[in-house]
Amino acid sequence: MTDNAHGMRGSWVTLLVAGSLLAGCSAQTDDGATRQSGSPSARRSPSTSASDSPSAGAAPSGGSSPATSGFTPDASLVPRTSKDGRRLAESVVLAPRDWGRGFVAQEPGESTPGTWAVLNESCRWQREKLPHGVLASASRYSSLPAGGGRGAVQVTAVATVHASVLGADEQLSTTLEEVLRCPEQRPRSDERITGLMSLGTPFGAREQEDADDSVLEAGEYVGNGGSAQPYRWMVARLGTVVVAVSLTGAKGNTAQELEQLGSKALAQMLTRIEQRLKGK
């Protein structure tokens, strides 16, 4: 992880501290679903002043005016084709070496081109063909092998490039909805993510000053009959690009360590977006 990324994105640590309080911020609705009092509404309406142009801003959660991170991409560099979208996504998403010393690729190490992950009606994750409006999406799967009394840490980095800001903003809205719909999810048949809660933080809230919008999910992972371990899913949007990281802990790894690792990883991808889309 580069020191530059860590220095530029220090406010993600503050956001994660807020996220660690998710359990204390939840309240039960009449139908028994868990809703977070600190989360934005499940479905947000973009400001009428926003447009589908790649450089347009999107409304903050619950707000009526656009929220932007202060970063304005060079319109000539913003992807408008699938080819350009793939090039950007693949240059932004983290490889094993980017996570730190000792990380290696899982098997498989990358997602199938032309697909992205979708949570179906049964709360199971599956890969589907990219829908209209999504130019490209790339996922890379890495792990830190067990050793020194600690279990293996599994991580995923994702970069998705949309054709418009409104489409990218919709992805974050959907992320919030999914936790309300599926507080328990299944990545695979023998794996479960349970007790999921989410916290949405637009630019300017809770000292979040690095992305146009962001979502943090916290829960526990249970796989292959093992004990429950911390799970984090962190998502951020900068213009038309959405980046995300998931982290699954194991014995000897604390939730705080996972959050710090995820914070640095997300910061690096946000920095890469700026570096590739900023004008001269």
First-to-last CA distance in the chain?
Answer: 25
- DSSP assignment string, 91-115: HHSPPHHHH-TT-EEEEEEEPPTTE
What is the residue whose two structure tokens read 């604390």? 254
What stretches of 77-164 show up as alpha helix (H) in DSSP?
82-92, 96-99
Give the list of residues 6+ apart from residue 155 with CB closer than 8 angstroms, or none.
99, 103, 141, 142, 143, 144, 245, 246, 247, 248, 261, 262, 265
Phi, psi of 180, rounded to the nearest 5 degrees? -70, -40
Per-residue pLDDT of the chain (280 residues; tens, 9 = 90+): 333 343 445 444 444 444 444 433 433 333 333 222 232 222 232 222 223 333 333 333 433 334 566 788 999 999 999 999 999 999 999 999 999 999 999 999 999 999 999 999 999 999 999 999 999 999 999 999 999 889 999 999 999 999 999 999 999 999 988 999 999 999 988 899 999 999 888 876 777 778 899 999 999 999 877 789 999 999 999 999 999 999 999 888 889 999 999 999 999 999 999 999 997 6
Contact 115, 137 (CB under 8 A): yes
Give the list of residues 6+ apart from residue 8 with CB closer than 8 angstroms, or none.
210, 267, 271
| Residue 113: cis peptide before it, omega within 30 degrees of 0 | no
Q: Which two tokens stand for residue 9?
A: 């994105």
